[in-house]
Each structure stands twice: as structure tokens, then as C-alpha cells.
Amino acid sequence: MKKIREFLYGFAVLPHIKTLERLKFEEDLSLMTLTLGDLIGLPTTPFYKLVLLPHWFPLIERWKEHVLSEKGALERIQE
């Protein structure tokens, strides 16, 4: 019974959860670009940096890799 439940979860629910996680991460990346863009050379205002930095500190390396990857913005939109 447990294997059937795990199969149904993986078949019906897991793709939706993965999509929501990806969308949340992309939204976080957009906000991080607006506030932490000076790390990659984009001029930004320092209003919310000190408030948001403790929440985003664990994600900064992943954000840099994503933003500075060789893919262009239009290529990411098409995915």
C-alpha cells in the first residue's frame, strides 16, 4: 500500500511541487537582482539590502551562478 501511495504522489503531485519550487526560486532571483545587483555590476539603490540580506545570504552563490550563466535572459524565458 505504501508503494502505491508513493507512486501516486510522484505521478500526480510531485511535478506540480517542482514547478512551484522553480517559480518561487525565479521570483526570488528577480528580487535579488533588484536589490543585490551591484554585486554583478548593476546599479541599484541600497534601501532594502540590509533588511533582506539575512534572508538571502544562503542563496547568494546560487543566484550569482544563475544570473552570470552564459544563457541569455530570452533563452531563460523560453524554457
Q: Rounded CA gap, 77 and 1, in Å?
A: 41
Asked whether the CA dihedral 69, 73, 75, 76 is positive or negative, the reply is positive
Cell numbers representing residue 49 in the block = 539590502
Give pLDDT tens digits for 22-36: 888 888 877 777 777
pTM: 0.49
Per-residue DSSP letter, 79: -
- pLDDT at position 73, please? 56
Neighbours of 69 (CB within 10 A): 10
User: Which residues of the chain are under the pLDDT cut of 50?
Assistant: none
Q: CA of 4: how far to CAs of 13, 14, 17, in Å?
A: 13, 14, 19
- pLDDT at position 45, please? 65
